[in-house]
Amino acid sequence: MQGIEYELTKFPILIITGPRQPGKTTMLKNELSQYRYVTLENPDNREYAEKILKAF
């Protein structure tokens, strides 16, 4: 089985799903530490993301 970084070379977007609090975010932060983590729970971040999506 290949890792997450390998999958990102094939697909620009990945969806990680699962039940609440099994460690999805922790796993991603560990596996992809060179990436910046942004949560859309912050209203400012969510508003900014929605604005960008509307531009497309």
The tokens for 18 are: 């699962």
In this prediction the pTM is 0.64
- For the stretch 4-42, pLDDT in tens is 989 999 998 888 999 999 999 999 999 999 988 888 899
Q: Which residue has the higher pLDDT, 34 or 56?
A: 34
Burial of residue 56, with CB atoms counted within 10 A of its CB: 0-12 exposed, 13-18 middle, 19 or more buried = exposed
Q: Please state, in angstroms and as integers, the Cα–Cα distance from residue 20 to each residue in 1, 6, 23, 24, 25, following that order.
A: 24, 25, 8, 9, 10
What token pair was written down for 22?
A: 């099994």
